[in-house]
Structure 1
Amino acid sequence: MKILGENIALGESKTILFNIAKLYTATNVEIPIIIERAQKPGPTILITAGIHGDEINGVEIVRQLIAKKINKPKKGTVICIPILNVFGFLSMSRQFPDGHDLNRVFPGTKKGSLASRVAHHFTTEILPHADYCLDFHTGGASRFNAAQIRVTPNDYVALKYAKVFNAPFIVMSKTLEKSYRQTCLKMGTPSLLFEGGKSLSCDRDIIEYGVHGVMRFLDHFAMLQHKFKIPTQEHNPVVIEKSTWIRAHKSGLLHTKANCNKFVQKGDILASITDPYGEMKVRVKAPNDGYIINVNQSPIVHQGDAIFHISTLVS
């Protein structure tokens, strides 16, 4: 295997520095790529996090995989990139310094913006080596996601592997234009996008779901070392085929009563919105039976803000 000009032989461990540009202070910004190859050939699993620099849960999931040596496979190769957007991570920002969202510029261009150049080099130099991709994200802003795998509708290969990963929810979701997941789909590389928790936060349960899911995924391909006990889930994942957002009808202080993962019935009170003066109180009710898979944890909302994501059709 040859990545960024470096040869990595079977049985070898190597960290390669992916360096595209410097900060304006002339300081190098290097993206470490941790590669573990077994003596025995097998699949190559690419595990990434930190495409958005403020999404810490994914970074911690990949860090634990490395620290616990889960990434050392019994066969095949595991490539870990804990922080793909180091620029954003330094400033705890979702975007690159050029204002672009890395997950909206794939596959990138050689002479485009900084984010586009990073996407291009990643797509041409690293992604072609992968047989399967696992990418870790969180909810944006103050919106907390239940642990879930996003799968493109009718992508039955990804659905099969999502069930192997076994997060609590599998959410059918169209690929976003110029996203990493769309690029994987076009290249014919099966990919799973994990969502869990919210930005600028670490959640122990979400991180555990992510680490355990990777262990189950590696075990499916006989890549997990024997010393690790395979985590089991009490229930099979709930497949959410359709879902909708519940939005605030008024601006004000948000008081949520329903938590992520909870199954609610039509008419259940999910939250209330009040003004600061004690004169207005509006109740937010469930429009249908369903699972709550995202909760806005901001104390203040504006009219039209998304406050809950609820399933409308499950299987």
Structure 2
Amino acid sequence: MNHHELKNITILKETILPGESKTINMEIAKLHTMTKLKIPIIVERSKFHGPTILFTAGLHGDEINGIEIVRQIITQKINKPKIGTIICIPVINVFGFLNQKREFPDGRDLNRGFPGTKTGSLASRFAYNLLKEIIPHVDYVIDFHSGGASRFNAPQIRVVPDNPELKALADVFHAPFSYYSKNISGTFRNSCDKLGVKMLLFEGGKSIDINDEITREGFEGSKRVLDYLGMLNSTKKISIPKNKTIYIEKSTWIRAKYSGMFHGYTKIGSYVEKGQLLATISDPYGKVEHKVKATDSGYIFNVNDAPIVYQGDAIYHISKKLKN
């Protein structure tokens, strides 16, 4: 196709022509100090026909590792496409990022507020604008998240089961784990799916933290997807991991049976046998020490990083074998 067939893109009344680079500032609401709050949307277009991919992070304001991945995609100029268009929104929930909080100032989780409404709560208006202004231009989304509340996620791609196209993209991204999880109502992923936009959700690390290994997995996987779509700048190289992606179809949480000080012995991503000692939970006075054992044989793909746990707290996420 010749490059004349590329359409103009208009976001928030600003038009971005083929071959153009533009940062558009989305302003939904001021801070209570009357300070303007800008959410930069970084658009890079080639002159040649191709798909549009959106990289987003910071939907939860305390999940900083994803923001770092998108920042590196920009600083390493991975976001300058050979064909098509790449849009980056490193921080969606700037309010939460300012306060190092997961939620919006209205106390709501933005990722339960989609598709949103024009005149609803602040988070709801935000969701509405994101879907109305940006998603109509987009074919693919990679959305970056981290584990919440001191729980560290192994690098993983989440996709819905029984979707061959998403499975193919997850294979290309090639994270250490891919986890089949159904769409949750009210999420960005669910809304994208309903609008026919293909989303890979990346999970890795924990909130209020930047981990170099997680960053590298997210960054390299994104490059592999761009390469697969024919969009990766010719000067950039990809690397293919030695190990295959491990697909997790069923999993269970191992919860603390007691409250106390938590001592974990299990490395994230490792395979454990049923009954294996994973951690101990002790009182502070040297009297008791409870063992935590693996409930199944499987991969540990989320671990608790908090030093103190309460009875019932989720401390490990472990994959379960499917019964044949």
- Superposition TM-score, scaled by structure 1 size: 0.99
What's 1:145 paired with?
153
What's 1:280 paired with?
288
How do 1:207-218 and structure 2 match up within 5 A?
A: 207-218=215-226
What's 1:65 paired with?
73
8 Å CA contact 2:53–2:85 kept in 1: the answer is: yes
Q: Which has the larger displacement, 76-85 or 174-183?
A: 174-183
What's 2:19 paired with?
11
What's 1:242 paired with?
250
Aligned mate of 1:197, from 184, 193, 205:
205
Please give the per-residue CA displacement for 1:143-178, whole angstroms capped at 9, x wherever unaligned.
000000011122222111111101000001111110
What's 1:88 paired with?
96
The 1-side partners of 2:63 and 2:23 are apart by 23
How do 1:68-217 and structure 2 match up within 5 A?
A: 68-217=76-225
Letter in 1 for 2:115: P
The 2-side partners of 1:112 and 1:180 are apart by 17
Structure 1: 4+ residue segments shifted above 3 A: none
Letter in 2 for 1:201: D
8 Å CA contact 2:49–2:84 kept in 1: the answer is: yes
What's 2:305 paired with?
297
SS in 1 for 2:77: coil
How do 1:234-273 and structure 2 match up within 5 A?
A: 234-273=242-281
Letter in 2 for 1:100: R
State whether structure 2 residue 55 is matched by structure 1 residue 47.
yes
The 1-side partners of 2:51 and 2:266 are apart by 42
Please give the per-residue CA displacement for 1:189-234, whole angstroms capped at 9, x wherever unaligned.
1100000000000000000000000000000011101111111101
8 Å CA contact 2:80–2:86 kept in 1: the answer is: yes
The 2-side partners of 1:151 and 1:278 are apart by 45
- Count how many residue pairs are aligned between Structure 1 and Structure 2: 315
The 2-side partners of 1:296 and 1:172 are apart by 21
The 2-side partners of 1:75 and 1:183 are apart by 26
8 Å CA contact 2:23–2:43 kept in 1: the answer is: yes
Letter in 1 for 2:306: S
Please give the per-residue CA displacement for 1:245-288, whole angstroms capped at 9, x wherever unaligned.
00000000000000111000111100000011111111011111
The 1-side partners of 2:281 and 2:31 are apart by 44
Gap runs ≥5 in structure 1: none
- Superposition TM-score, scaled by structure 2 size: 0.96
Please give the per-residue CA displacement for 1:79-126, whole angstroms capped at 9, x wherever unaligned.
000000001000000000000011000010000000000000001111
8 Å CA contact 2:297–2:321 kept in 1: the answer is: no
What's 2:314 paired with?
306
The 1-side partners of 2:163 and 2:249 are apart by 12
Letter in 1 for 2:259: S
State whether structure 2 residue 35 is matched by structure 1 residue 27.
yes
SS in 1 for 2:38: strand
The 1-side partners of 2:46 and 2:244 are apart by 31
The 2-side partners of 1:30 and 1:178 are apart by 24
Root-mean-square deviation (CA), in Å? 1.0
The 2-side partners of 1:26 and 1:263 are apart by 52
The 2-side partners of 1:243 and 1:174 are apart by 13
What's 1:222 paired with?
230
SS in 2 for 1:29: coil
